[in-house]
Amino acid sequence: MIEKIAAKLSTGKKIVLMHGNADPDALGSAYALSQCFPDTYIGAPGGMDRVAKAVANKLSIEVIENPDISEYDYAVIVDCSSRDQVSADLSEIECVAIDHHAVSGDWDECLSICNENRKSCAEVILDILKCTDFKIDEKTGMALAAGMITDSGHFKFADSMMMRSFADLLDEAGIEMKDVISTTDLKQDVSERVSQLKGMQNMKFERIGDYIAAVSQRSSHEGSVCKAIINAGADIAFVGSQRKDEFRISARAKQDLVQKGFHLGKILNDVTGETNGVGGGHAGAAGLTGKGDIEAHLNICMSRSLDFFRFITSEGENKCKR
């Protein structure tokens, strides 16, 4: 399948589309494809997050914010498990999908590859590049490395495959770790720090045994507030924002819970079945967007988390009884 996708990408005028609020992994994946394959452009119809914007600025990556999809022969969708995550109408255009999240079924009818064994989409892109004669230069290497390091939580969720791929990428592109870190690590501005403090102030939490799940609401910096709550002691954090009738939830979980089988991406994807939203992501970091009341959705997320806490707590008690 990788060879088929590489052959397809060598043809036609195409635009690589990223999910809404695109992160560095999506950006790095899109940029690498634009450098390897001719007549390839990058589109962010749903915008980019703060770190991705900084990476694009530092590396002078040109991104079309409101692309006219009709101008292209086909679209390449990167780092998206579903069509709804792309803030564009894909009904009238051929799609090629490249991803690493849990399969949703949205891309079954088109040429696609989804490697769930990869921790980042950038790694799947690297596999595709290996099918070509493309030599990864410093700028492309930096973009891909930025995606890998951020999507793995600065390697907290990395595996041996990612570490090997990352090391090989540094060598091939001639870049150093310190340069990648300086590209992705941004100083917190005062608004982000205030959001974290207010998020802590508004936080509600529940405890089952030794495990704590917390929820909060903020109008911005949801992901950053999640991290602050996790650092404060929660095992799982959900932070939501309400904008008129639309909501957005960011979620984070500690690695030890992930190792016990907890998967935020699958939980939020399941929640979408009840709410008609769009959710998914990784085991330790995920998101959910949709229409409705944010508090009700946070309550659902909390309930699912507590169910998991009860399961692993009772499982531990049963082992002790044996």
pTM score, whole prediction: 0.82
Among candidate residues 263, 285, 69, 64, the one with its CA nearest the CA of residue 156: 285
**Separation of alpha carbons 198 and 271, rounded Å:** 26
Residue indicated by tokens 């909060």: 216
* CA end-to-end distance (rounded Å), the chain: 48
Among candidate residues 17, 5, 70, the one with its CA nearest the CA of residue 41: 17
Per residue of the chain (322 residues), give pLDDT as tens. 889 999 999 999 999 999 988 999 999 999 999 999 999 999 999 899 989 999 999 999 999 999 999 999 999 999 988 888 888 888 899 999 999 987 777 787 899 999 988 999 999 999 999 999 999 999 999 999 999 999 998 898 889 999 999 999 999 999 999 999 999 988 888 998 999 999 999 999 999 999 999 999 998 889 899 999 999 999 999 999 998 888 989 999 998 999 899 999 888 888 876 666 777 788 888 888 888 899 999 999 999 999 999 999 886 655 545 4
CB atoms within 10 A of CB 59: 17
> What is the set of domains in the chain, with CATH numbers?
2-184 (3.90.1640.10), 190-321 (3.10.310.40)
**Separation of alpha carbons 106 and 116, rounded Å:** 15
DSSP-derived 3-state class of residue 277? coil
Any residues with CB less than 8 A from the CB of 293 and at least 6 apart, and which? 242, 247
**Separation of alpha carbons 168 and 127, rounded Å:** 12
